[in-house]
Structure 1
Amino acid sequence: MRFASSLLLTTALSFAIALPAQSQEFRTVRVGGETASPLLGGALLALLMFAIGAAGSDTRAAPPAPPPPPDPTPPDPDPVYAPPGGYQGSLRPRYVIGVTPYAGDPRLSAEPGDAGGFEVPEYLAGQFAGPINAATRYAEGAFGAGALVSVFDTGVDPAHPELAANLTNGLSHSYFSGPMTDLTGHGTHVAGIIAALRDGSGMHGVAPEAQIMALRAIDGPESERSGRFYENWEDAMLRSVEAGADVMNNSWTFVDQNGDPLRITGFADRAAAVTFFGSDLIGTMAYSAQQDLVSVYAAGNGNGGESSVAAGLPLLISELRDHWVSVVALGEDGLIADYSSRCGVAMSWCLAAPGTNLISVSAGGGYEFQSGSSMAAAVVSGSLALLKSNFPEITGATALRILKETARDLGEAGVDAVYGHGAIDLAAAMRPVGVLNVQMSGVMNERVAPLSGSGIVAPAGVASAFQAALSTSRLAVTDGYDRSFQVPMAAMVGTEGVTSPLPDLTRFTMRGASLGGPVETGTYLSRGAPVAGNALAMPDPSRFSGGHAGLIGDRAVSFTHMGEVASGLRFGVTGAHGAADGTGLASLSLSADIGSALFTVESGRVSERDGMLGARFHGAFGGVSATTEFLRASADLPLGRSGTLHLNASAGETSASGTGLLRSAHLRSESVGIGLSRVSDRTGSRMSIGLSRPVSVRGGELDVLVPIGVGAAADGVASSEVRTQSATLGVGAAEAPIDLQFGYEVPLGAARLGVAVSHRAGAPAGQGTSASFGVSFKF
């Protein structure tokens, strides 16, 4: 039941908002907005528009002729709603972030887009996009496409070139007779702040690709309006829900006979609100919130004091609190405007936004200044449209929560009675919040790995191949709001550093204990370890013939037995185990003396647990195990009486499987080395120098499972779907580094002790150099 008092107040609203206040610098305009002084505002606007080269008038155009007299009995609002619209949930460009894939590695980042490139005259003209940092969002490709905002106001000029493309005529509706018009320009100005086109001229809205659904119900002929405002308001909410609107903008307030806003504090409790608005309207409000429609209300131009009754309703109607926001206006200095109401008791669901001297489109063409909490509310509605457009997976309630929780604090610390949560900041609202997780299954949060501990750390000859293969893929990660962000997968591959040197101990074992000359028969036990430095491979103090055997890892123990099968022909069996990571090696070799030269062929297999070709996989990439079968050939050719030329080449085929994002791999790889050594006739010690290229990828493919996004929210419920994509990525040849090695070894009875230094060509001064030692015993 609606009482006579509410009808009288509604009628008073119609007259009060139509009468300008002549004694104020800012005239009270219809439905809660204010315009600047026509002379001052027109001059400022003309100067600004001239400076930015924008088209348009600096004053209002003449209003169109009034509509013909209405039918004495206005028809009921059209009960047939348009088909649902709104965003379709397609994946849109996301905020691309940098990552640190593994602790101890340098930060690998993909820089976000250049926000400065969007801060052009058109962006600056409106004087609201800059203060809310909208350019940071535009730099990542989001402009509001797919979002729908309903504007319940005085209508919208459908012919204005800044709005025509974004106005959805099929969904728009006028509660007065005749076509869509705007007799006052208020609704047009508000709609322009939300979604005026980004077309290179004039100004553009906060969400210039969002769609506007105009619902004209204010400032129409009084005979058509009296006693029907509540019904129109209720119908507008239902139309907005049915159309799939994300946001409903309400830039108006209730006023009393003196033109002062009706404050929420004038209503004692829920019963008083139901009495004023009626149970039907309150029920529709609750229904719209249940359907995830976010309602934005101007706090009012009350020259201070509490928020208006409509803006502050969640104080009394708790069902609205997650989907309702009161907006106060900021002045050009970024502080609360003198004319604006305050958040007051509505501070828990209140935000602040620019509202003073904002330039937007005017009815009939051109542009104009206006000020008021009406304008501030439109800035918030456009910001919500950007959030919903960019993150279709979140609900409207979550979008509003993000805008509040990321707002820039003003006034007293925390939520306060003047600014509420503070000034909206789209740069903060768009950034990831909380822990970032990689979704590892098709169901949200069913299986996750933290992004901070996920990545691939590989030797240079492997890392560059992985980076190139993953360079076209983007990995979706989710933040604390379950929003999806994209990370370049190539940025999650780091080059191995000092934390994981890879000594090649079999270069001791295959040579045996003798100094120079043929390898002797016998059984050998070898052990080696790095001493210091940050090179990528342990130096070879004896010769350059390790190849794929170097994959057995740090601090491995190696066992070799060499037996003679014929004169000058020896057969070897080698096994090695990496104690740190469980990597294993098994190989068979055949060595032959041909004249004074020694030729060796070795065939073997390296098994890597939690790794592949020396790379280590962490977090979301973890669970990778690989087997590499290799064939190695080497030659020791005498040079003079005590010198030797060492040649080595190794080729391998790797098969891997994984339980994380990397599902399988098939790779080809190779390693080569060349060196010179000389044996001392007096001491039997050996000195060596040479060049080697560690194991590097020559080709193959990776099979990966890539999370690419999150399903769109529907009917006010966030989706639990994680969209994934399986891909087979070709792997090309990698550029491998060159290591310069120097070694020295001496006999100690039945043992041999070797030390070596290695430097990576092209490494910065003071980096890329390491030292190592090894010892081998003959039994």
Structure 2
Amino acid sequence: MKSRLIATAIAVAFPALSHGQVAELLAAPLNSYEQLYNRVQKQVGADLAQARGYTGKGAVVAILDTGFEGSHPELKTQFASTQMFDASTGKYVAITDGNGHGTHVAGIVAGSTGTGYSYGIAPDARVLPIKVFTSSTWTASSTALAAGLKNATANNSVSVISMSLGGSGPLGGTFETALRNTVNADKLVVVAAGNSAGTDPQWPARYAKESWAKGQIVAVGAVDANNQIASFSNRAGDTANWYLVAPGTSVLSSYRGGSYAYMSGTSMATPVVAGAAALLEAAWPQLKAGQVAAILFQTATDLGAPGVDAIYGRGLLNVDRAMQPVGTLSVPTSGTKTVSTSATVLRTSAASWSGLRAAAAAGQFRGVSVDAFNRDFAVDYGAGIRAPARDGMAALLATAGRPLWVNEQVARDGSRFLSAVEVERPHGSFAGEDEQRTLVATSALFKLAGGKELALAGGSLAGRYFGLAELDGTLANPYLGLTRSAAQLAFGLSRGAWQVKAGVLDGGLNAAMAGQHGPAERASGGRALVGELNYAVDDAAMVGAQLADVAEADGWLGASGSAGLGLSSARTRTLTAHGSYRLSDAVTLAAQYSIARTSDARGDALLAAARGVRSEAFALGLVGHGNFLVGDRLSLTLSSPMRISRGTAKVEMPVDITAAGDPVFESRRVPLASTSRELKLALDYAMPLSATTSLSWVAALRDNADHVAGERDVQAGMVYRAAF
């Protein structure tokens, strides 16, 4: 059976044109006429998408219509073929249009910029002219439509097919077979809903509701400049889930004789949607036709009743939103892991901050992320690289205000025991049964026969057995601090002027110990094996060397990242030389220098590894007791925290998505060396006021803070402590 279709267009008077001034949006500048007369672009947000560089370059839209005027300035450079297929005769002919309807539609899809009074939704796309209407009656048979579909489907470059036409009933088996084949060939078909003001779309738009359409057919209705359904437009009806509306009243576009015309109809709304589909296809050629339609449906602006309704269907086409991410952005990785882009954060340490900061500023962490449709979007992962946390006055005061129970005992043989427990009374001072106690720190040193000793510690006192830390906490080896909240198990042996120490620091062990005394937060931390040899030169001087093998979990050199920018493990071997000299009974001069090599640093996302990393740290200090008052304590230190001197990180950066939908990675070597050196001068003086109270002053000056040249940090504060 043959059905006859009428091109659905309503001609509107062509008014005089005048100049106007609007900001230019495209790389090829719009002229003043285009800036003034193309409200459709703004109504659907196409101008915003074009301003971000989405212009449809590479996409081809087949338009089944009355033909095109080949010499029109809007279209003469936009054709995907030098000839036009005439479906009614089955022959290729010159590109012409004796009606003007097809020329108008083509200009809405892909009219070029800077050439006249209008321009297309996808001005850099190409259009393939397929004539399906006879020149004598301007009607089209279902047979001609089927032939036109076959021609478009056979063209591998075509991704979108636009049909601004419709009939009152189904179009017969020949056409339906051709349409099914088009769907199966992964083409998106955009069809006018019709101009009879009906409750349902006309055919072939109404085929969109069929299961075999696979969501690849989009029915398009028309709205006016106020986003109200046009009086002539067929409504969504039973095709609501596959129905969009777009501007379709008084739309300016190219016309016969090199002219321009305002026309109205769902014929005009349809190429607006087809142009938007071309933008998507050009930007992300890996998208399937069903995905393109789904994006247009999901990003549409809801109109009418909330949600999908029988008038507006999915709502108004929103090109700007369609070209933006849908759902949660994630990081493409070489494995099966899914990592959220927003959670891709690296909290650096002082050792790693300045090098990574410089690399991020140089664009080394720029790549792409993907949305729910596997579309790639440019992103700078360097924004997730955060500066290290600083030990400021607020943290010091907060620590000073903690209610602690401290118990210290010294045995006759020199063994020492110390514990600090934080007490919380959430329900008031007298609700003793509700007290929560958390072990903050503990230390036990057992003096054994034959110069042997056993040293146990947990919390902030772990590691104080080694090096200069027992002399003053500011002189502790910073590499041992990489174990984070570790527990200490160590042994010592003294023979004459020589002393040997060996032990382990373990984060998991500390969590278990703390859990015996109350709620404790289990941190994976790390583990360190420590060996130390000290030699007493005389009664006043001591020198020593320390070897440590530190294994970090979920971090490297103190930096801690999420899955996207994290390293799952790292191993650092360090050699430290230290020494002290007692200037007087009350004052000791001490110094230490550490060098280290970090290896086996591996990750499974953006950061793949850290290689050849060398680092160093030093400290020089004066420590005094009882200098001015009985029981006072003074420390003055000049130090440089851990600093990477050389090394690189291997970054596997996703930079593109192939037409097959697979991520493309670029392997980059990111330098990690610090760009400067921090020097920190710190003063800490504490004096007792009574048996239960004390007052202390602290001050610190950091030059090139966190090894960033020119960064300065000055802190000072006073702390009053009282025991109750």
Identify whether the pair has TM-score above 0.5, normalized to the shorter chain.
Answer: yes
Distance of aligned partners of 1:758 and 1:466 in 2 relative to their CA distance in 1, 3 Å threshold: farther
1:366-388 deviation digits (Å, cap 9, x = unpaired): 54322221111111001111112
Query: Is the contact made by 1:543 and 1:688 (CA closer than 8 Å) also made in structure 2?
Result: no
Shift of the 119–686 alpha-carbon distance from structure 1 to 2, 3 Å rule, reads: farther
Instruction: Specify the alignment match of 1:632 in structure 2.
Output: 576
2:610 to 640, 644, 665: 665
SS of 1:165's partner is coil
Question: What displacement does 1:396 show?
Answer: 0.7
Contact persistence 1:547–1:670 (CA under 8 A): no
Query: Do 1:478 and 1:484's aligned partners in 2 also have CA atoms closer than 8 Å?
Result: yes
1:529 to 446, 460, 481: 460
* 2:381 alignment partner, one of 452, 475, 489: 489
Where do residues 407-556 of structure 1 align in structure 2 (5 Å cutoff)?
Answer: 407-441=300-334, 446-469=336-359, 471-497=363-389, 524-529=455-460, 542=472, 544-556=474-486
The equivalences for 1:340-739 within 5 A come to 340-441=233-334, 446-469=336-359, 471-497=363-389, 524-529=455-460, 542=472, 544-559=474-489, 563=493, 567=497, 570-578=499-507, 579=510, 580-585=523-528, 586-591=530-535, 593=537, 596=540, 598-621=542-565, 624-636=568-580, 642-661=586-605, 662-666=607-611, 667-680=613-626, 683=630, 685-713=632-660, 719=661, 721-734=662-675
Q: Determine if contact 1:296/1:326 at 8 Å carries over to the other structure.
A: yes
Q: Deviations over 1:704-732 (max 9, x none)?
A: 3344444425xxxxx5x444444443333
Q: Which runs of 5 or more residues in structure 2 are unaligned? A: 400-417, 419-442, 446-450, 462-468, 511-522, 689-693, 720-724
Kindly provide the CA deviation profile for residues 723-750 of structure 1, in whole angstroms up to 9, marking residues without a partner as x. 4444443333255666564546899xxx
Q: How far off its partner does 1:350 sit?
A: 0.9
The corresponding residue for 2:516 is none
| SS of alignment partner, residue 186 of structure 2 | coil
Residues of 2 paired with 1:389 and 1:706: CA distance?
A: 23
1:760/1:385 CA distance change after superposition, 3 Å: farther
Letter in 2 for 1:213: L
How far apart are 1:287 and its partner, in Å?
0.7
- Deviation track 1:512-531 (CA, whole Å, cap 9, x = no partner) reads 999xxxxx99654444439x
- Percent identical: 26
Match of 2:162 among 249, 268, 285: 249
Secondary structure at the counterpart of residue 129 of structure 1 = helix
CA distance in 2, matches of 1:349, 1:767: 63
Q: Distance in 2 between matches of 1:34 and 1:740?
A: 82
Q: How many residues align?
A: 625
The answer to which structure, 1 or 2, has the higher relative contact order (CA under 8 A, 6+ apart) is: 1
Q: Residue 523 and residue 163 in structure 1: after superposition, are their counterparts in 2 closer, same or farther (change >3 A)? A: same
Q: Distance in 2 between matches of 1:129 and 1:604?
A: 66
Query: Structure 1 708/767 Cα, relative in aligned 2: closer, same or farther at 3 Å?
Result: farther
Q: Could you tell me which of 146, 154, 161 is aligned with 1:234? A: 146
| Partner-residue secondary structure (3-state), 1:128 | helix
Mapped contact 1:548–1:630 kept (Cα < 8 A): no
Contact 1:558 1:576 survives alignment (8 Å): yes
Mark the CA change 1:152 to 1:217 in structure 2 (over 3 Å): closer, same or farther: same
The DSSP-based 3-state class of the residue aligned with 2:377 is: strand
TM-score normalised by length of structure 2: 0.75
Counterpart amino acid of residue 191 in structure 1? A
Q: 1:199-246 deviations in whole A, cap 9, x for unaligned?
A: 487443211221211112335245xx88x7333322221222222311
Q: 1:51 aligns with which of 20, 30, 35?
A: 20
Does the alignment pair 1:193 with 2:108? yes
Separation in structure 2 between the aligned mates of residue 769 and residue 153 of structure 1, nearest angstrom: 79
Q: Residue 486 of structure 2 contacts residue 525 of structure 2 at CA under 8 Å; is this kept in 1?
A: no
Name the counterpart of 1:163.
75
Matched letter for residue 383 of structure 2: A
Shift of 1:195: 1.5
Distance in 2 separating the partners of 1:139 and 1:363: 29
Question: Residue type matched to 1:300 in 2?
Answer: G
Conserved in 1, the CA contact under 8 Å of 2:554 and 2:569?
yes
Map of 1:218 onto structure 2: 133
In structure 1, C-alpha distance between the alignment counterparts of 2:309 and 2:302, rounded to whole Å: 9
AA in 1 matched with 2:11: T
User: What residue is the counterpart of 1:280 in the other structure?
Assistant: 174
Q: 1:305–1:646: structure 2 CA closer, same or farther, 3 Å change rule? A: same
The residue type paired with residue 575 of structure 1 is: V
| Equivalent-residue separation in structure 2 for 1:469 and 1:183 (angstroms) | 61
Q: 1:593 to 1:347 in 2, by over 3 A?
A: same
Within 2, Cα distance between the matches of 1:622 and 1:357? 56
Q: Which amino acid aligns with 2:558?
A: G
Give the secondary-structure state (helix, strand or coil) at the position aligned to 2:610: strand
Structure 1 residue 665 displacement after superposition: 1.5
Greater alpha carbon shift after TM alignment, 685-694 vs 372-381: 685-694
Is the Cα contact below 8 Å between 1:294 and 1:396 reproduced in 2?
yes
Change (3 A) 1:200 1:232: closer
Which has a greater percent of strand?
A: 2
What are the superposed Cα offsets for residues 223-277 of structure 1, whole Å, 9 maximum, x if unpaired? xx88x733332222122222231111111233xxxxxxx3xxxx5xxxxx3xxx2
